[in-house]
A and B are shown apart, each in its own frame.
Chain A
Amino acid sequence: MEYLGLYNYWIAVVLLMTGFYAVVAKRNMVKKLIGLSLFQAAVFLMYITMGKVDGGTAPIYTAAGGEQIFSNPLPQVLILTAIVVGISTTALGLAIVVRTKEEYGTIEEDEIQQIDEHTSGGQQ
C-alpha cells in the first residue's frame, strides 16, 4: 500500500518514460515534439507533487490566524518558470518543423535523410 500512496510519482515516471520513448523512437518530427512536451510535463508533475503537504492549503495568512498547514509554494513558482521554458521550446521546435516542411516537403526524418544523401553527393 505504501507504493500506491505515491501514485503521483508513479504517474510522473510513466509519463516521463512514455515521452522519452517517443523522442527516441519516433521518426516524425511532430511526434517527437509531443514526446518532448510529455517528458517535460512529467517533471512538472513531480515538482508539484513534492510541494504538496497533506491537508495543506494555499500559503495565505487569514484573519482567523491560528495554526495552519501550508503547502510549499516554491515548487509551483519554479514550475511556472519551467512551463514557460517548455512552451518556448515547443514553439521553437514547431517553427523548425514548419521551416523543414517548407525546405524538404516532409517532416519524416527518414525521408529527410534520404533527400540529404541524394543532394550531398559532391557539394559541401
Chain B
Amino acid sequence: MSSWAPHLPVLQVVVPLMTAPLAVLMPDRRLAWALATAASICALAIAIALVGDVREQGTVVYEVGSWAPPYGIALGVDAMSALLLLVVAGASTLGLLASATSLPGEIEPQRQPQFYAAWLLSLAGLSGILVTADAFNIFVFMEISSLSAYVLIAGGPDKRALPSVFKYLAMGTIGATFYLIGVGLVYMMTGTLNLADMEQRLATVGDVKPILVAAGFITVGLALKAAVFPLHVWLPNAYTYAPNVVTVFLAACATKISIYILIRFDFFVFQGNLTAHDWQFSYFLMPLAILGILVASMVAIFETHLKRLLAWSSVAQIGYIILGASLISVTGLTASMLHMFNHAIAKGTAFLAIACLALSISSLDIRNIAGVARHMPWTMAAFVVAGLSLIGVPGTAGFISKWYLIKAALEMGDLAFPLIAVILIGSVMAVIYVWRVVESAYFGNADAGMSGATIKEAPLAILIPTWIAVMLNVWFGLAPALPVELSTRAAELLMGHMP
C-alpha cells in the first residue's frame, strides 16, 4: 500500500475515469451500479487518505509523468482542495447508494449502465478540477464534469428536463468559454499555465490591461457556472427536472467547485499582482451575494414545488459562500469554505429525503405531501434535520458556518451591522420556507392530499444513506474540528497570496 501513497492525487481522478467505460460495458444494471459504487467508495477512501496527508505535511504535490513544473503538469492537493474532495467523493457515494432504490423508477434498466458511466465521468471531472494546479487542465476537467452533468440531468423522467438542460448547456458553455478567454489572455502575457508560475511571472508583466480583462472574463464566466445570483437562471429548472439522485450529487458539489476555481484563481493569481484588486473583487461580488441571499430566499418562500424550493434555497446559500469570500479576511474565507462543506451536507441530506419522498409520492408539490409524515416518519425526520441545518440551528453543521460568517462580519467595522442583518434575515426566510414544508407534512390534512393507503415508508436501502447524511449534519455540528481546521488552513493559504 505504501507504494500507492505518492500517487493518490492522480488516482483520485484515474479511478472513476477508468471505471466509467467499464460501467457502459456491464450487461446488467446491478453490475454497473456495483461497479460505480465501488469506484466512488474507492474515491472517498483516497480523499480521506489525502486529507490525512494534507494535515500532516501541508500541500501534496504530484508531478504527472515525473515532469517538473512549469513544463510538466503538476497536481497539487492543499487544505482547500482536500476539504472539497471529501464533499465530492462523499456526495457521489451517498448519491450512488441511494440510486439503487431511487433510479429504477426514473430511468429504464437498459439505459442505467450509461447513466452510471456519466456519473463516474462527472465525479472524475469534479475531482480533477480539485487536484490540478494547471489553468487549462481546470478548463478540460470543468467541461468533462459539465458535459456529463448535462447528460445526467437530461436523463430525468419529465420531458421538461430537456429545455432546462439545453439552457444549462448554453449558459454553462458560455461560462466555460469566458474562462477559456481569460486563461488565454493570461497565457498571452505570461507564457505559462501553471497557477503558481502564473503568479510569479505576472509580477514582471508591464501592461496589466489584458490581465484586468482576463480577471473580468474569469470572474464572470465562473460566476455563471456557479449560479451566482443574477446568473443563476439555469439552476432551478435543471435541479428540479433532474433524476432525484442526480440532484443530490449536483446540488452538493457542482456549483461549489466553480466557486472553488473562482476563489482559487482570484487569490492565487490575481490578488497579489493587481493593484486595488481586493477592492474590485469585494465590490463586485458582495452586492450580488446580498441580493442573492434576499431575492432567492424570497422566491423559495413562494415556491410550491419541493425540489424547486430547495434549488432556490441553493442560490441563496451560494450567496452566503460568496459573501464570506468577498470579505477578504481569514475569518471570512474560513466561513466561505466551511459553508461550502456544511451546505453540501445539509442540501445533500434534504435532496436525499426528497428522493425518499418521491418513491411514494408522484408529484412533489407542497400541497401533495399533506400529512405524509404520519406514513413516512423517518424520511420527514431526515428532512427536518436537513432543514434545521439549512437554517443554521445550533447543533447542526449549518450553525457552524453561519457563526463564522457572523464573526467575519463583526470584523468589518461599519459594514458589520448591515451584513449581520442580511445574514439573519436570510436565516429567518429559511425558517419560513423550511417550515412551510414541515407544516404541510406534519400538520396537513392527509385526506386533502393523496389517499393514505398507498403511501408507505421508503425502503431501508435508501433510508440508510439518507440517515448517514443526517448523522453527518449532527456530527459536524457538534464536533466541527476537522472542517474548521481545513477551512482555516485554506483561508490562511489564500490570504498568504494577498499583497
Contacts and interface: CB of A to CB of B under 8 A. Distances in A.
Interface of A: 20, 23, 29, 32, 36, 39-40, 43, 46-47, 50, 75, 78, 81-82, 85, 88-89, 92-93, 96-97, 99-100, 103-104, 109, 112-113, 116, 120, 123-124
Contacts of B160: 116, 120
Given A40-B173, A88-B143, 20 more contacts: A29-B166, A36-B170, A39-B173, A43-B180, A43-B181, A50-B184, A78-B136, A89-B169, A92-B147, A93-B170, A99-B162, A100-B162, A103-B162, A104-B159, A104-B162, A112-B163, A113-B163, A116-B160, A124-B363, A124-B365
B162 A96 contact: yes
Nearest to B148: A92
Chain A interface, DSSP helix/strand/loop, else mixed: helix
Given A43-B177, A81-B140, A124-B158, A116 B163 contact: yes
22 contacts: A23-B170, A23-B174, A32-B170, A36-B173, A40-B173, A43-B180, A50-B184, A75-B187, A78-B136, A81-B136, A82-B139, A85-B139, A89-B143, A89-B173, A92-B150, A92-B169, A93-B170, A96-B150, A99-B162, A100-B163, A103-B159, A124-B363
Interface of B: 136, 139-140, 143, 147, 150-151, 154, 158-160, 162-163, 165-166, 169-170, 173-174, 176-177, 180-181, 184, 187-188, 305, 363-365
B54 to A, nearest CB: 29
Contacts of B363: 123-124
B173 A47 contact: no
Given A50-B188, A89-B147, A20 B174 contact: yes
Contacts of B147: 85, 88-89, 92
Contacts of A40: 173, 177
Contacts of B163: 100, 104, 109, 112-113, 116
A81 B136 CA distance: 10
